[in-house]
Amino acid sequence: MMLGAGEERDPLLTPGEVAGLFRVDPKTVTRWAKAGKLTAIRTLGGHRRYRSSEVHRLLGGQ
């Protein structure tokens, strides 16, 4: 993902970090991404990462 000059950087979280915030298993986070509840960003190595702002918005909605 490339950011323009004026865009803020949104930290990316690992599935384990997201799982820790929601107190669920990391595989649950992966299922949420497949179901469209969260947007997964793939690293060059193929690992999933999640935008911190999106995760915290979802966390606040619980």
Query: Mapping DSSP to helix (H, G, I), strand (E, B) and coil, where does residue 62 land?
Result: coil
Model-level pTM? 0.80
| Residue 27 tokens, joined | 């595989």
Distance from C-alpha of 2 to C-alpha of 57, rounded to nearest angstrom: 22
Residue 52 buriedness (CB in 10 A; 0-12 / 13-18 / 19+): middle
Residue 62: which pLDDT band, with cuts at 50, 70 and 90? low
Q: Which residue carries 């799982």 as its tokens?
A: 19
pLDDT in tens, 4-57: 444 468 999 999 999 999 999 999 999 999 999 999 999 999 999 999 999 999
Phi/psi of residue 16, each to 5°?
-65, -40
